[in-house]
Structure 1
Amino acid sequence: MTLNFRSIALACALVALAGCAANSTAPATGAAMPPAGKVTIKRDDYGVPHVYANDVRGLFHGFGYAVAEDRLFQMEMARRAVLGTVAEVMGPAYVALDKGSRASFDPASIRAQMARLSSDDKAIFDGYAAGFNARVNEVLAAPATLLPKQFADAGFRPKADWTGYDVAMIWVGTMANRYSNVSSELANLRLLEQLRKARGDEAGRQLFDQIRWVEDPLAPTTVPRPKAVARGAADDAHAAHRAALAPVSPELLVARNEIDAAQRGVAEPWTRPIASNLWIAGPNKTTDGSTVFINGPQFNWFNPSYVFGIGLHVAGFDVTGNTPFAHPVVLFGTNGKIAWGATAGPLDVNDMYQEKLDPANQYHYLFNGAMRAMSKRTELIKVKGQPDQSLDVYATVHGTVTNFDLPNGTAYSMKRSWDGYELESLLGWIHAMRAQNWEQWLAQASRVAITINWYYADTAGNIGYVSPGRLPIRPATQDIRLPAVGDGSMEWLGIRPFSEDPKTFNPAQGYVANWNNQSAPGAVSDGGNYSVVDRVHEFTARLEAKPRLTPDELWALNRTTAYADTNARYLVPFALEATRGLPAADPARRAAQVLADWNMLNEDPAERGVYDSPATTLMTAWLPILYRKVLADDLPPEVFAAYAGTGYAGETQVASIRPGNGLKLVYNALLGPKAGVPQRYDFFNGEDKNAVLRATLAQAVAELDKRYGSDTAKWRTPVTKHVFLTSNFIGAPQAGADELLSLPSYMNRGTQNDKVVLGAKGVVLCTAAPPGQSGFVAPDGRKSPHYADQMTLFKDFGCKSEALTPAEVDRRAQSTKQLSY
């Protein structure tokens, strides 16, 4: 008999958590709970609300109410962005955004999932919506003082018409779709065609394998790799798959932005939403025997903040932390027994299928030897000041059709293993907040179908990691980098059991670290392109440098890695070796000395407006020269253009940065036979590598001498500012155009940071979530006291303590409000 671990784990979880539910009438927190039908909200000195209620519906009623107090305009625009109704209030410029959103989910599927919810789970969503509506009604009753200014500026008012469906859809659109609805298979197919055309079939395929490899056995993994690793060998088991695919028209790869590319399945690997870090040190890795858990989810930086601080207190839920888009769950926090967090998921849970179209009817496709009609639904999009527009959304047996490629007689549809499991995934996350140990927490992880990385620590000193998601079992003949053949010959064989999802518990190294690197050996994907060149080394190198670290030293890693040059550790040693023995006046030797004197940080500690070391300037000048020299003569121009970027921040930076795309290729070429990815194509074309390094360094020095003079101390680059955007990641405005905020120096760190210390003195949580808890701007322009009161805290790498006990909440309470529901 074959048993599904997901089912077993869930059954165990329900039994284990039953004790919590059985005591649902007794306070779990030690606080005096409000009477039935009442909710109490206590806000601390940073405006963070702590909600107390007698039952779950009341708890989430208070949650929704507090969110509407702080983020009414942001949440209204988030709802419109995910549902595709922005153009209704903002005009025709947002029609394309709405069409993309409407095509990215199936309303009937989400509503069917809502209908299947238990009454207890339904109370979470309905309670949240009712609380939100209660606040909207208060606002509409007193708009002269309570209506956020952004509504008046945009020319519309909110409505008290939120439903549980809307609450769920905020999560579906901003979490499930943003981080799981992505594929690079079309981009990979286009790359393969470009390389074949430029270099011939055989050399083109070899070059493709060297650029978009399946697995680099030297790539760092969150589940530790064995010490001995096997390097890749030649494998052409997928020749028949490649031969069966029609070409892809280059126009299909053109996208409005990264969200559009993800929604249509044409994302390049480096545009995929992967930007978060985390590090946990267990008691054998800390000087005081505590466990230190630090999370930096990088959603980019926005005003109002992407995350919302909250404390939820009722029997079964006693949690404090932060959550993105005010989801009805604390994604980063603690319940006093365990702590948890997350980074973007790495698993391959989608496939693009290339559908062969009927020449006589583009809406018919070949499947299992016969032509079938695509299903169709029509969406009506309201547009401010213009007639309504309609959108036809087609689907095949595999999923939504994302692209029609009529010149090649094909269409592409995206098959998602998590379709129909969106709410089950969210409920796993919600109920994980109640877990008291690893087993209970892992059982809730088994419910999660989307791809996400989860992290764990507890008061017993245990640490762990799991990367949940419904992993398809694919045919052996399928090259996961390319679209699958849609004629029925390349269907999934099933879903892997949860027991095969990557996970580790109390790893021997004593810590867990991740910066969106590969989850585990063998856990590969069409667009991961995981490499030995990976910014997670900025953490692991420093964690490995000392046998034990203090909690303060672990927090200090946040500052160091935020300014770390993510290219330097790979190239500086080669530069120093290549220039060893050269005269001091030699241009290449001068460059090497600048690099040797550098701490490999791009920082401005004195806030002079320029980076502290001339090495920053040198690296940004040298890398483009090096990449051109090594790669430009081997790659077609349009391909090289994608690998020419250095990975450094621009004049203003709103997203996380990582090593430049070209560095992975150049570093492997420098490693030569020691590279994890076989180097069958010589990017150096027989030239001596050290000679190339010396020549390119000398060329960079010549350019900098001409621009700044020969005194290297004057090679200084202006600091990039850290900017907080006023539109959400989908592209809908969530604040006024005059509300753009910035900090003096860019930091490659979390949208928020939280630190949980679990030790002999109990559990301590601190957070920093700029700009502030509230985005409220009054009709007269006055801002909430908590509008931007975490900006300086964030800039200085501070961390505000959070109240975790009733006594602490009461001591720090600045206001108390009671609601009826």
Structure 2
Amino acid sequence: MKTTKALLALGVGLSVLLTACSATGTQVSPGTGITVKRDGYGIPHVYADTTRALYSGYGYSVAEDRLFQMEMAKRSSIGTAAEVLGPDYVEIDKTARNSIDPQSIKDQLARLPQTERDIFEGYAEGFNKRIDEVGADPAHLMPKQFLDGDFRPEHWTGYDVAMVWVQTMANRFSQSSSELANLQVLKSLQAKNGDEKGRQLFDQLIWAEEDPGAPTTVPRDESTSPDDGPHAMSQEAGLSDVTQALPDANLTRMKNAGGGEWPHMKPEASNLWMVGADKTADGTSILMNGPQFGWFNPSYVYGVGLHGAGLDVAGNTPYAVPTVLFGTNKTISWGATAGPLDVNDVYQEVLDPSNEHAYRYDGEYRPMEVRNETIEVRGGPDVAYPVYSTVHGRVTSFDTPNGSAYSLKESWAGYEIQSLVAWIDIMKATSWDEFLEQAKKVAITINWYYADNQGNIGYVSPGRLPVRPADQDLRLPAIGDGSMEWEGIRPFEENPQSYNPEQGYLANWNNQSAAGALADGYNWSPVDRVRAITTRLEAKDKFTPGEIWDINRQASFADLNVDYLLPYLAQATEQLPGSDPVAAGVNMLRDWDGQATDDNADGVYDDPQPAIMRTWLPILFDTVIRDDLPEDVYASYAAKVYPAAGTARPAEATKLVYNALRGDESGVPQTTDFFNGADRMSVLRSTFGQAMDRLRTEQGPDPAGWKMPVAANRFDYKNYLGVPQAGSDEVLSLSPYMNRGTQNDRIVLGDGIADLCTVGPPGQSGFIAPDGTRSRHYSDQMDMYRNFQCKTDNLTEQSVDANKSSEVTQN
């Protein structure tokens, strides 16, 4: 707002700022009959009789713990970070604003019945009450980060509450599309190899048809999902060329959200496994969830209990959104991982040669719609710019030299708030049928998981899945001239879902949801990290809660490449004598449990095998695939073999080499011989030998002394979009890297049994007082997380009372 910018520039006091905010008409009454009880880890349990009061208590509690983080989450979401942080954040604000339709969100909120608007308005009401308290006593209550940054928190509205969820959950995990990046890669391949060979290589890198060996969450023998794969490839001839360095807001957002460069663009996301009554020792259900939002300080997630107005739930939730995304009501438990459904399409629009803001549709040029935005910039001039839209959606980039623009069409546009309300209402569900009723209302793509106190388990992947023309290639932009429009939305019954599968478990680590369910760039393959979970679930008939929890440790340190390449390497060296250095190295890998650990905390991996794998794979990939690819395309593979941040996924290059080793047995046709006619076993022996020679040269002849520095989990002070949510001196670190959830929760339900155990580092509160004193709950879950422990969360009022550290009642 202009008022805020002017006041900041003039250094006007806090009381005037708060007066200016209050002048907007924001309600600050907290309601009545609200009680907040906090447990020994600072987790608030809110008790109230009405929805508005319950959420007022929730918002107030969040503002006590995370006022600075949430202020910056709000600004990141609505695109006002530059207003307080200056010119460096203008482009981030543009990315945020380009990804939303503010009026649509406001209209959706306005259409809600008052009982549902009370959720958003009540939350803002409680949040603002705390802001006013802080404003009245800034010397003691103002978070230090505001004082350091010389600005103050602004009052919230129900729209702000909704927008934090829209951006941090709906847009971050549902707005992905790699179609434009895929087109750039295709054109690069064709420029190097010619059109036909380039297309064949593209099909081998990003395959169009399903690989039947890829693991699915819905067992393949019970899948009813439609085949969403392309039936023809005819639209390539209708697509214009594309500038290789073309900036695109959607690609930028995907990279900022944790996906990185092509082909690893989608966020790393989450894992979950659960077992039902037939696979537990006592007939309970056990749900284990590890949402992988990344690691931040304060944490991405917030712990809370909500009790009253039809709710009696506890658990964790990202950015303190107005629902518990990972939790239980003691009758059912629920969790989530990132959605796999292709609910977006990029359209290539043909521009009018005389007007780049007009495009061809249905045989005529139409003017683009325009929304004018102005970003206020602290310490600089305001930045005014237009946001353009076509019939398909917001324009993400212009490629004027090639006469094109690209727009993003979302099947879920206009249904964001409906999706959130459904996620709120699952907290009241008590059966699979009631759970599915809410899933039907969810338009974004997400994976939902269910378990109950009768030992039942279930999985559904909600989302509005378009019916596309038969000639559309999912991997590439659609043609925007009106010839490639969606033909409808598939019925919800065709969405992937499973209830009490015969195998007794369900597991997901962002793998393929069900047979036939494809997308524009996931490259689902037999090489998949979910096997680090499923192989362990299949190894036993019955599990205890402790054994289910321990899978987390095993998967967190698992090398995700060795299992796929070692069988071929062993075959390649089986005729070598045991004294041969290459054979000895292979035997070391065969004797290894695949765990990249640092138990003695000396900063290097305990065993030499991580050094062997991290030395060999780059040599192998350079030898096998580099010569077939343009250097820019190969660089994308080489950068993500064993990245410094950790091994979150198997290397994409491992999938290519694994397919090449399988040859005709591969689920992906191998039209290009990456081995160039050479004997594959000889290539494996040679490259592995080069790795062993390099290690001997660099680290000495004794393999026992070969070391590799560990990667670490870095808890960043900036949020996933790059906006500070804490002070720059608040970066935290844990070593070695653990490939696990931002938080972990394990929920056990049975007859008279309800147990919730969670850990969400660094801690519940990010509050730092003006004098620098940190809340005692600032980082009190770090050691617990490091040691794979969890705290027992209180599910009854009696338990809360027995373990409470404070209680506040508002009358």
TM-score, normalised by the number of residues in structure 1: 0.93
Q: Hey, what does 1:817 align to over in structure 2? A: 808
Deviation at 1:609, TM superposition (A): 2.0
Q: What pairs up with 1:641-680 in 2 under 5 angstroms?
A: 641-650=635-644, 653=645, 657-680=648-671
Matched, 1:576 2:567: no
Select the residue among 110, 129, 139 that pairs with 2:134: 139
Q: Which amino acid aligns with 1:546?
A: K
Which of 544, 549, 561 in structure 2 is aligned with 1:567? 561
Q: Tell me the residue number matched to 2:336.
A: 342
> Would you say 1:737 and 2:731 are equivalent positions?
no
Q: Of 111, 118, 123, which aligns to 1:123?
A: 118
Cross-structure match for 1:6 = none
Distance in 1 separating the partners of 2:468 and 2:734: 47
SS in 1 for 2:342: coil
The aligned counterpart of 1:315 is 309
Match status 1:164 vs 2:158: yes
Residue number in structure 2 paired with 1:29: none
Which amino acid in structure 1 is aligned with residue 267 of structure 2?
A: P
Paired with 2:248 and 2:747, the residues of 1 have a C-alpha distance of: 43
Distance 2:250 2:83 in 1: 20
What is the distance in 2 between the residues matched to 1:744 and 1:237? 47
Give how far 1:269 is off: 3.9
Cα distance, 1:535–1:165 mapped onto 2, change above 3 Å: same
**Matched ranges for 1:30-45 at <5 A:** 37-45=32-40
Identify the residue that residue 49 of structure 1 maps to in structure 2: 44
CA distance in 2, matches of 1:695, 1:384: 59
Q: Does residue 1:417 correspond to 2:408, yes or no?
A: no
**C-alpha offsets along residues 613-651 of structure 1, whole Å, 9 cap, x if unaligned?**
10100000000000011101211222111122453241x
- Coordinate RMSD, CA, aligned: 2.0
CA distance in 2, matches of 1:656, 1:392: 40
What secondary structure, in the 3-state scheme, does the structure 2 residue paired with 1:619 have? Answer: helix
Picking from 468, 492, 498, the partner of 2:462 is 468
| 2:545 pairs with 1:554 | no
Quick check: 1:218 aligned with 2:209? no
Residue identity opposite 1:399 in structure 2:
G
Q: d(CA) in 1 for partners of 2:146 and 2:742? A: 26
CA deviation vs aligned residue, 1:488-529 (integer Å, no higher than 9, x gap): 000000111111111000011100000000111111011211
Task: Please give the residue correspondences for 1:282-431 in structure 2 after superposition, counting only pairs within 5 Å.
Answer: 282-431=276-425
- Equivalent residue letter for 1:683: F
User: Percent identity, aligned pairs only?
Assistant: 56
1:721 aligns with 2:715: no
For residue 789 of structure 1, the aligned residue among 780, 787, 804 is: 780
Q: SS at the partner of 1:280?
A: strand
Q: Which amino acid aligns with 1:105?
A: I
Does the 8 A contact of 2:289 with 2:335 survive in 1?
Answer: yes
Structure 1 residue corresponding to 2:273, chosen from 264, 269, 279 = 279
Q: What amino acid maps onto 1:672 in structure 2?
A: G
| Conserved? CA contact 2:475–2:521, under 8 Å | yes
Tell me the SS of whatever aligns to 2:632.
helix
| Length, aligned pairs only | 778
1:67 maps to which of 62, 75, 90:
62
1:713-755 deviations in whole A, cap 9, x for unaligned? 0111122222100001011100001111111311110000000
1:451 aligns with 2:442: no
1:595 counterpart (575, 589, 600): 589
Alpha-carbon spacing, 1:411–1:564, altered in 2? closer, same or farther (3 Å): same
- Asked if structure 2 preserves the Cα contact closer than 8 Å seen for 1:721 and 1:746, the reply is yes
Structure 2 match to 1:13: none
Q: Secondary structure at the match of 1:330?
A: coil
CA displacement at 1:554 relative to structure 2: 1.0
Task: For 1:256 and 1:745, locate their aligned partners in 2 and report how far apart those are by CA, in whole Å.
Answer: 32
Which residue does the alignment assign to 1:196? 190
Secondary structure of the residue aligned to 1:386 is coil
CA drift at 1:574: 1.4
| Separation (CA, whole Å) in 1 of partners of 2:45 and 2:60 | 12
Write the deviation string for residues 644-698 of structure 1: whole angstroms up to 9, x where unpaired.
2453241xx3x77111121110001111111111112211111111111000000
TM-score, normalised on structure 2? 0.94
Distance in 2 of aligned mates of 1:254 and 1:135? 39
Aligned to 2:791: 800
How many Å separate the matches in 1 of 2:701 and 2:260? 46
Q: Equivalent residue for 1:102?
A: 97
AA at the equivalent of 1:758: L
Q: Could you tell me which amino acid in structure 2 is paired with residue 74 of structure 1? A: Q
Distance 1:147 1:314 in 2: 30
Per mean C-alpha deviation after superposition, the further-off stretch among 778-787 and 758-767 is 758-767
Q: How many Å apart are 1:228 and its aligned residue?
A: 12
- 2:246 matched to which residue of 1? 252
The structure-2 alpha-carbon separation of the partners of 1:237 and 1:121, relative to structure 1 and needing over 3 Å to count, comes to closer
Whole-angstrom CA distance in 1 between matches of 2:263 and 2:37: 45
> Residues 255, 417 of structure 1: CA spacing in aligned structure 2 closer, same or farther, 3 A cutoff?
closer
Shift of 1:444: 0.3
| 1:340-378 deviation per Cα after TM superposition (whole angstroms, max 9, x unaligned) | 000011110000000000000000100000110000011
Please say if residues 98 and 249 of structure 2, whose CA atoms lie closer than 8 Å, have aligned partners that are also in contact.
no
Q: Could you say which residue in structure 2 is the equivalent of 1:80?
A: 75
Q: Is the 8 A contact 1:305 1:771 kept in 2?
A: yes
Moved more, 304-313 or 740-749: 740-749
1:511 partnered with 2:505? yes
Alignment partner of 1:90 is 2:81: no
From the superposition, tell whether residues 405 and 386 of structure 1 become closer, same or farther in structure 2 (CA, over 3 Å): same
Tell me if structure 1 keeps the 8 A contact 2:277–2:454: no
Measured at CA, do residues 387 and 36 of structure 1 come closer, stay the same or move farther in structure 2, by a change above 3 Å? Answer: closer
Partner of residue 686 from structure 1, selected from 652, 677, 691: 677
Moved more, 187-196 or 402-411: 187-196
Report the Cα distance in structure 1 between the residues aligned to 2:714 and 2:633, rounded to whole angstroms: 30
Looking at structure 2, the residues matched to 446 and 340 of structure 1 have their Cα atoms a distance apart, in angstroms, of 16
Structure 2 residue identity aligned to 1:552: G
The whole-number CA distance in structure 2 between the counterparts of 1:643 and 1:633 is 13
Give the alignment partner of residue 201 of structure 2, picking from 204, 207, 219.
207
